[in-house]
Amino acid sequence: MFRHALFRHRPPQGPVIPARFPRIEPEEVMAGRVSFVGLPAVELGRDIDWALDPHRNRSWALNLHALRWMGGLVAAFERSGDRGYLDRAAEITADWVRKNPRRAAASPWAWAEHPIALRAPALVRLSAHVSAGWLSATLAEHGRILADPARYRNGHNHGLDQDIALLAIGGRLRRRAWAELAVRRMTASATAAIDAQGALHEQAPKYGGYVHARLGVALEAIERCGLAAPAVLVERRRLLENYVSHATQPNGRLVPIGDTPADAVPRGFRHEPATVGVFQAGYVFGRTAWDDPRSAYYSIRFGPGRAMHGHEDHLGVTYHAQGRDLLVEAGFHSYEATPYPAWTRSPEAHNVPVVEGAAFRPGTATRLAHVSVTPHRQEYRLSDEAYGVERRRRVVVGHGAEVLAVFDEVPPGSRVRTIWHLGPSLRVTEVRDGRVVLACGEWRAALVQLALPSGTPLTGQTVTDEVIATGYLKTTTTPTVLSPPAESMLTILVPGTPNPEISTHNGKIIVCTPGGPVDLT
């Protein structure tokens, strides 16, 4: 009876836009079990309770209502020809439609803007094999919502997903006006979100890779709908590749800036020859060499105040050298509205100077005032008023003779403390006379702090274990060094030796690294 009702309605339909769904285990779903975002499997049964949120997790609830797992069953049918997969996909979808009317849905996630955008392509894919009045009706309802300018997320990755969804429904239902609207919106949105250097303004490199992939889906969908792909859309997608490449560390992982998980591995792109990228959106990325896992690598944050997927990380520095993460961020843990994810977005979760006794001003922009780049030495000068007084930070990086030096200064009457989150593979073996010795097996490095302008050792460092995120819902502890307060200080990180010789004479500061001397003046 159900199948007869399901297949009797056959309205005229246009092309099915290809959609890619997360990998599922079809037999698990057929047995009523689902797994999302790495959390333990949940028994849904045959009669699904759409109000379920057993893990109290936003991403889990979103995925339940996005129905991409249902789309995975349709894909399994297309691969295998097993009609049971298709029948169950249709049953799941009909059950969702019946139990989630817009004004009386089982969950607020049912008609939230992002689940709508992710669900629509799965509905379109199902409609390639199932023709029913309820399915056509819900596709049209999704299309009307997606076309509503009040629901649109302009300049956001969710907006791109909304445009792909509207394009898919517009093509399938032969609503050319919807398809054309989707193309116009995504073109304007991409132009606003991706600048002429390729940097995405969402302030997290992970989303550069996501938007690049989704624009690829969009361009294919535009072609399937018989429309012309705007040249600016193609060009902005290409420019993203440069940004993502520069944000990729020598170990192949993205630098964990903003809501970028520390274990995120992007698709590889061809890169430009330059080993240093200064992006006016607020990033400096530098490396010794491309395609060398032993290359040194660093990042520095500046630019507009925190937005979207950004953190309060301005003036923050990361450093990777000799195959090891030396300075890391607390990283991205989850989107949950709980204390720990909130802390990971705070200044204290990053390698930044904190002004003692002053209140932090969220969303403060940071200026990059000076850039000097040569093959063996790079220097940057930055400043802001995030604590009501001017913080000034000067960063010097030596390549070949590897060293990272950071000068921090605040006006007279203020004092600053610096925070250094060390890589989780490191341990602290000694703290003495302003020198912190780091170890990983037999390998050693030194973090040395000097008071300025005297050049004398700055003593009184505190070493604690802090919890950092190593991936989505994953954590570990890592040593964190907190400096004593000072008006002006210099922090020097030298990989490969526990005891670098540092000379300060006549205003010059010279560090003897395993690769040779470096003048920090």
| pTM, two decimal places | 0.93
Tell me the two tokens of residue 362.
Answer: 């969220």
Mean pLDDT estimate for the chain: 95
Tell me the two tokens of residue 84.
Answer: 């049971």
> SS3 helix, strand, coil % of the chain, rounded to 5?
30, 25, 40
The residue to which tokens 């969710």 are assigned: 158
The enclosing domain of 48 has a CATH number of 1.50.10.100
**Mean pLDDT of the region 292-311:** 97
Decide which of 135, 158, 181 is a domain's last residue: 158
pLDDT band at 507 (very low <50, low <70, confident <90, very high): confident
* In-domain check, residue 35: yes
Q: What is the DSSP string of 138-192?
A: HHHHHHHHHH-GGG--TTSHHHHHHHHHHHHHHHHTT-HHHHHHHHHHHHHHHHH
Decide which of 132, 158, 184 is a domain's last residue: 158
Q: 169 Cβ partners below 8 Å, 6+ apart?
A: 120, 123, 124, 139, 140, 142, 143, 146, 175, 178
Range of the domain at 124: 2-158
CA 521 – CA 507 distance, rounded (Å): 8
The pLDDT score that the predictor gives to residue 7 is 46
Distances (CA, A) of 32 to 23, 29, 308: 16, 5, 36
What confidence tens digit (pLDDT) does each residue in 224-239 have?
Answer: 999 999 999 999 999 9
**Residue 103 falls in which region: left (phi positive, over 0), alpha (psi -120 to 50) or beta:** alpha
At 311, phi and psi to the nearest 5? -120, 170
Helix (H, G, I), strand (E, B) or coil at 302: coil
CA 278 – CA 475 distance, rounded (Å): 31
The pLDDT score that the predictor gives to residue 10 is 56
Tell me the two tokens of residue 154.
Answer: 């302009």
The enclosing domain of 376 has a CATH number of 2.70.98.70
Helix (H, G, I), strand (E, B) or coil at 340: helix
Helix (H, G, I), strand (E, B) or coil at 386: coil
Residue 461's nearest CA partner among 442, 489, 439, 441 is 489
CB 446 within 8 A of CB 499: yes
Work out the percent of the chain whose per-residue pLDDT is above 70. Answer: 98
* In-domain check, residue 252: no
Within 10 angstroms of residue 499's Cβ, the number of other Cβ atoms is 13
Q: How many residues does the chain have?
A: 521
CA 98 – CA 101 distance, rounded (Å): 7
The residue to which tokens 């526990």 are assigned: 498
What confidence tens digit (pLDDT) does each residue in 413-435 have?
Answer: 999 999 999 999 999 999 999 99
Decide which of 104, 139, 158 is a domain's last residue: 158
At 42, phi and psi to the nearest 5? -125, 135
The pLDDT score that the predictor gives to residue 9 is 52
The pLDDT score that the predictor gives to residue 374 is 95
Task: Please name every residue paired with 371 in a beta bridge, in sequence order, or none if there are none.
Answer: 380
* In-domain check, residue 344: yes
* In-domain check, residue 509: yes
Tell me the two tokens of residue 493.
Answer: 């990180």
Find how far residue 117's CA is from the centre of its chain.
Answer: 20
**Mean pLDDT of the region 158-174:** 97
* In-domain check, residue 194: no
153 and 282: one domain? no
* In-domain check, residue 210: no
**Per-residue pLDDT at 105 exceeds 90:** yes
* In-domain check, residue 282: yes
Using the CB atoms, write b or e for 376-402: b if 16+ within 10 Å.
ebbbbbbbbebbeeebbbbbbbbbebb
Tell me the two tokens of residue 512.
Answer: 């003897």
Q: What is the DSSP string of 194-259?
A: B-TT--BTTS-HHHHHHHHHHHHHHHHHHHHTT-PPPHHHHHHHHHHHHHHHHTB-TTSSBP--SS
154 and 280: one domain? no
What confidence tens digit (pLDDT) does each residue in 384-422 have?
Answer: 999 999 999 999 999 989 999 999 999 999 999 999 999
Terminal Cα distance for the chain, rounded: 83
* In-domain check, residue 219: no
3-state secondary structure 250-312: CCCCECCCCCCCCCCCCCCCCCCCCCEEEECCCEEEEECCCCCCCCCEEEEECECCCCCCCCC
Number of domains observed in the structure of the chain: 2
Tell me the two tokens of residue 395.
Answer: 């960063």
pLDDT band at 3 (very low <50, low <70, confident <90, very high): very low
Helix (H, G, I), strand (E, B) or coil at 390: coil
151 and 278: one domain? no
The pLDDT score that the predictor gives to residue 4 is 38
153 and 280: one domain? no
The pLDDT score that the predictor gives to residue 260 is 97
CA 14 – CA 173 distance, rounded (Å): 6
Helix (H, G, I), strand (E, B) or coil at 494: strand
At 278, phi and psi to the nearest 5? -110, 110
